[in-house]
Amino acid sequence: MSAGSAKVLDAARPIRSGEELDVAAVDAWLRARVAGLSGIPKVSQYTGGASNWTYRLEYPEHDLILRRPPTGTKAKSAHDMGREFRVQSALAPFYPVPKMIALCEDPAVIGVPFYVMRRIAGRILRARLPQGFSLDPATARALSENAIDLMATLHQVDVRAAGLETLGKGAGYCRRQIEGWSERYRKARTWNVPRFGKVIDWLAAHTPDDVATCVIHNDFRLDNLVLDEGDPARIVGVLDWEMATLGDPLMDLGNSLAYWVEAKDGPFSRTLRRQPTHLPGMLTRREVVARYAERTGFSPPSWTFYEVYGVFRLAGIAQQIYYRYHHGETRNPAFRHFWLYVHLLHRRCLRLMR
């Protein structure tokens, strides 16, 4: 998982207007913590995400990634740089995460907390495959199977051995998530999106007890996985631990299913997908559930609650992001039409409930 051992396959781009990084301040802070830095780093930005801002710092001897929160309104528990840094540090002996370098919680440096880690070289798949790259059906199936197996592995990490016993609040995770996301959606709602009243009431009435309490990623998607350059079915790193916590593993799977768009889904769903799960050979959502149940032994009477929850939560995330755009707190044009995505997710929830 060397940071600089391979060609850039998930290329960073020029920094977006309004999201500039104080390179001199970061460089001065890093030099006191990383030996062997020389020159001024080449700085670029990963623009594929919709939450924390992520920058690449290329020194002659070191290839580093900096993560910081965005500007504007933020959910109370989101964008906690210290938490994200400590979770990955704790998981490093047990799971393929980036190597953490240093955490800055002093706002005097660049105005917000941030952390720096080593870049994992490899390929990250977005909605559309890179030009000149393809996945044959056998490789696509192997990749999707390996992804679900890796999620199952995370859910079996020994929480005490990792020192993460205090990461969550314990039993009652399912209930807290429904109450929390219902409230967050209401607060972020704008005039042009549904109220989600029927969905919120249905979820509250159908909330099960937790099946277990384990480390969950909470945003486990193909575009948060780093793939080996020579073998794209092999996963060499898992990124974006912003929302990781201790919770119910089936809720984590429900979150992932919300992003898992299939070839047979409607054209609007396929247009808005974030990952290439529609390709021939990829597991279907039903096959994902079956493989996960086989690997973990978790098999509830019904998966519908977890699927509806995952889609509703995704709508809440999209609406929180759109709220910032709607009120001028971010100028990223990619967020302009997120309100339409919220409508699509509302309809999907109602279909699942029926």
Supply 175's token pair: 């209930």
Task: For the domain made up of 137-353, give the CATH fold.
Answer: Aminoglycoside 3'-phosphotransferase; Chain: A, domain 2 (3.90.1200)
**Cα separation of 310 and 287, whole Å?**
17
Give pLDDT, residue 50.
57
Give pLDDT, residue 3.
34
Give pLDDT, residue 7.
37
Query: What DSSP letter does each residue of 241-255 carry, written as one string?
Result: -TT-EEE-HHHHHHH
pTM recorded for the entire structure: 0.91
Taking residues 297-303, report their average pLDDT: 92
Give pLDDT, residue 1.
32
Give pLDDT, residue 272.
79
**Cα separation of 285 and 213, whole Å?**
23
- What are the domain boundaries of the chain? 23-118, 137-353
Task: For the domain made up of 23-118, give the CATH fold.
Answer: Phosphorylase Kinase; domain 1 (3.30.200)
**Cα separation of 312 and 44, whole Å?**
33
* More reliable by pLDDT, 301 or 88: 88
Instruction: For residue 12, name the pLDDT band (cuts at 50, 70, 90).
Output: confident
Sequence-separated (6 or more) residues with CB below 8 Å from residue 50: 321, 332, 334, 335
Cα-based angle 226, 259, 335 (whole degrees, multiple of 5): 90
